A and B are shown apart, each in its own frame.
Chain A
């Protein structure tokens, strides 16, 4: 059986370096298998987060040869003849080895104004397919935070931007036919949607193939334009004296 050379980052917030390990390759092996083999046979103190090994739980996010990927969805035979470098997500604070502190994402999630149905209405609602079909895509999110990790606004500019994952969440609320809130002001001033320059890295890494930029961020940007940057709509609202949010 062939061997795989794995270079895994070992360290914590105070520093660290890659360490080389060699494991036997097995058919259909994924990077997570190899890392767990290392943990079982050579480095029992290796910290790695995982759960489902089926690309469902979103726990095993890491950077494999510099690309943000789910370790359980990345086959080792993709790198035949090459070393495999495995490191933690770079945008988040490192805890140990491959494990990072992703609590920032939960903090921002809690700040998003929650789903608010019309007064007196309670689930189950009667809704039509036409009105909810575009929400299914947003609900595919497994919260792996790979999109947050790759987003240059968070990763390089360290801006207090909520990031693509939270914009997907906001899109699912804003476009919900039974939601009554208008989150345009929140998007502009708190979530800082204007920081996104639609360069699409989030879309490129999403393991659920959610069209984050085209179907969530750009539609939300357009809603923010309606309320804050469109001079004609601004004058219209002044004349009509109301806040129209497109129905």
Chain B
């Protein structure tokens, strides 16, 4: 949102909406993890993927994985902007007075200095993403009465596919990836594979321009997949099978 267009809405609108959405998502994620399971036939909830066995019966396996995507998002350059503005009011909106005065250390001290490790969360999240692609493929294979899997498609499969595509767009538009791929280079033409890196860096840069959009869309798509599975489990809806 630009300063000019922020004239149209009160300044607190954006920070407040972000607090509501991010808090809502976090509460839902914890609630879903506490359910201890999230599978329905060939559908596996992204909160429970990859499937791991919990060492204790009272401990949901979701917590073994959840820290990766949550850490990835918590250290993401875009979400950092979002939460510094909305949760810490640092600043709540541009050219608005702040709550805290001269006691400010930005990202130079604990805990925010940890955000510098974002690239490692990117790597871990990419591994999880590979499992989510596997789950999305499984979502297109339905078992018949005798236990044989057949290729097919249902509304659920489509939701899985859309989710994993949005998650990939989010991951592959990451600022740290943009740096690793080519941003760190000062001279493309003087380096080994510089041409290919320049091209890839260009693609990541194009995706990167919409990074906030992918961040929100993929947050909602993850939520939708889990909700869809829980509604199926509860028998409140029926999956719509296309073929």
Q: A residues within 8 Å of B by Cβ? A: 63, 65-69, 90, 128, 130-131, 150, 152-153, 155-159, 161, 174-177, 179, 192, 194-201, 204-205, 213-214, 218-219, 221-226, 228-230, 246-247
Contacts and interface: CB of A to CB of B under 8 A. Distances in A.
Interface centre among A131, A150, A197, A230 (most CB of B within 10 A): A197
Nearest to B194: A130
Given A152-B90, A196-B106, A204-B94, A177 B186 contact: yes
Contact of B85 (A68, A199, A230): A199
B165 to A, nearest CB: 23
B155 interface: no
A88 B144 CA distance: 73
Contact of A197 (B80, B102, B184): B80
- List the 6 closest pairs (A to B, CB-CB), nearest first: A201-B94, A246-B184, A194-B108, A222-B179, A195-B106, A229-B116
A153 B183 contact: no
Given A204-B2, A222-B183, A156 B101 contact: yes
Given A156-B98, A201-B91, A219-B179, A195 B85 contact: no
Nearest to B11: A66
B108 A214 contact: no
Nearest to B95: A150
Interface string B41-83: 0000000000000000000000000000000000001001100
A131 B184 contact: no
Nearest to B103: A157
Nearest to B82: A199
Nearest to B104: A157
B208 interface: yes
Contacts of A69: 3
A192 B179 contact: no
A221 B176 CA distance: 10
15 contacts: A67-B6, A131-B186, A152-B90, A152-B98, A156-B101, A157-B104, A197-B80, A197-B112, A198-B80, A199-B81, A199-B85, A204-B94, A223-B179, A246-B184, A247-B186
Given A150-B94, A197-B84, A158 B175 contact: no
Interface of B: 1-4, 6-7, 77, 80-81, 84-85, 90-91, 94-95, 97-98, 100-102, 104-108, 112-113, 116-119, 175-176, 178-179, 183-191, 194-195, 198, 208-209
A183 to B, nearest CB: 11
A153 B214 CA distance: 28
Contact of B3 (A155, A158, A177, A204): A204
A239 B24 CA distance: 46
Nearest to A188: B108
A63 B96 CA distance: 12
A195 B102 contact: no
Contact of A214 (B3, B118, B119, B208): B208
A247 B187 contact: yes
Contacts of A225: 116, 118-119
B3 A205 contact: yes
Contacts of A199: 81, 84-85, 90-91
A198 B91 contact: no
Contacts of B4: 67
Given A195-B104, A199-B81, A130 B198 contact: yes
A104 B185 CA distance: 31
Contacts of B85: 199
Contact of B185 (A90, A179, A200, A247): A247
A63 B193 CA distance: 48
A130 B188 contact: yes
A131 B107 contact: no
Given A150-B95, A229-B116, 7 more contacts: A68-B95, A90-B95, A192-B106, A195-B107, A199-B85, A205-B3, A222-B176
Contacts of A63: 95
B108 A192 contact: yes
B105 to A, nearest CB: 7
B45 to A, nearest CB: 32
B95 A67 contact: yes
Nearest to A246: B184
Contacts of B97: 156
A150 B91 CA distance: 10
A214 B81 CA distance: 12
Contact of B107 (A130, A197, A230): A197
